Chains A and B, each alone.
Chain A
């Protein structure tokens, strides 16, 4: 198993765990919720950098060839990215810990708060689909990591998709 795959797996698992904690500000408190989400944005950038080749490859052949599954995966990843930006933007605008700590006071906006909650709920569904599309990769990588033997590779995602990596 390559070192990069190990890094990808550990980064993805820890990002996923942090995402779950960030989704529950009642437990963690607003300060942890906000700082953790900013750290998550950094983790997402690293996640994208690690999968950069896949992004470039799929983008270049988006309108030519490729399976429907990989196109669906590509569109879903963009939706997840847009939703993430929406969460971050609305979160910054209603921030009660990070932005005031920088000495910036923003007016209270209830519509942005609703938007933040709506986009957060949407991210759960998108994350579910993202995990499902990469389920076989996750299972195969975990098996390779712990079994240390050869694991027969299966198609990496549903709908016969073979090139789901990002």
Chain B
């Protein structure tokens, strides 16, 4: 019962955030003074000029031959996460060192 209550709380928080974000995006796009190019009938670069996209294919993602770079996206994400972590940890160490030096004075 306690776990169900907690799950409901998490989902309620997610729904409130989702609703607020959706309202913000919806209001932002409807109050925009300039009509986006694609709403004028101009398709963004890289999108087919007629017809629907094939099911399961996004033109900006599924370029032919992209499977050759198998782990490239995974490695790129891992690299970005690692860089951010290393920067934070190094900064944290420096600040800690600085604080200790200042306290010992």
Interface residue ranges, A against B (CB under 8 Å): 19-21, 23-27, 29-31, 45, 48-49, 52, 81-82, 85-86, 88-89, 96-97, 100, 110-112, 115, 124-125, 127-129, 131-133, 135, 157-160
Contacts and interface: CB of A to CB of B under 8 A. Distances in A.
A45 B77 CA distance: 23
Contacts of B18: 85-86, 88-89
B80 A48 contact: no
Contacts of B88: 128-129, 132-133, 158
A158 B10 contact: no
A58 to B, nearest CB: 15
A135 B70 CA distance: 28
A19 B74 CA distance: 9
B84 interface: yes
A77 B23 CA distance: 23
Contacts of A131: 81, 85
Given A30-B61, A45-B10, A89-B22, A111 B3 contact: no
A24 B85 contact: no
Interface of B: 3, 6-7, 10-11, 13-14, 17-18, 21-22, 25, 29, 36, 38, 44, 53, 55-58, 61-63, 66-67, 69-74, 76-78, 80-86, 88-89, 91-93, 95-96
Contacts of A31: 56
Contacts of B72: 24, 27
Contacts of A158: 88-89, 91-93, 95-96
Contact of A24 (B11, B55, B73, B84): B73
Interface centre among A20, A88, A115, A128 (most CB of B within 10 A): A128
A115 B22 CA distance: 11
B56 A124 contact: no
Contacts of B80: 124-125, 128
Given A96-B55, A111-B36, A158-B93, A128 B22 contact: no
A160 to B, nearest CB: 6
22 contacts: A20-B77, A20-B78, A23-B74, A24-B74, A24-B76, A25-B61, A26-B61, A26-B63, A27-B66, A27-B67, A27-B73, A30-B56, A30-B61, A45-B10, A48-B10, A96-B53, A127-B84, A128-B80, A128-B83, A132-B85, A135-B85, A159-B96
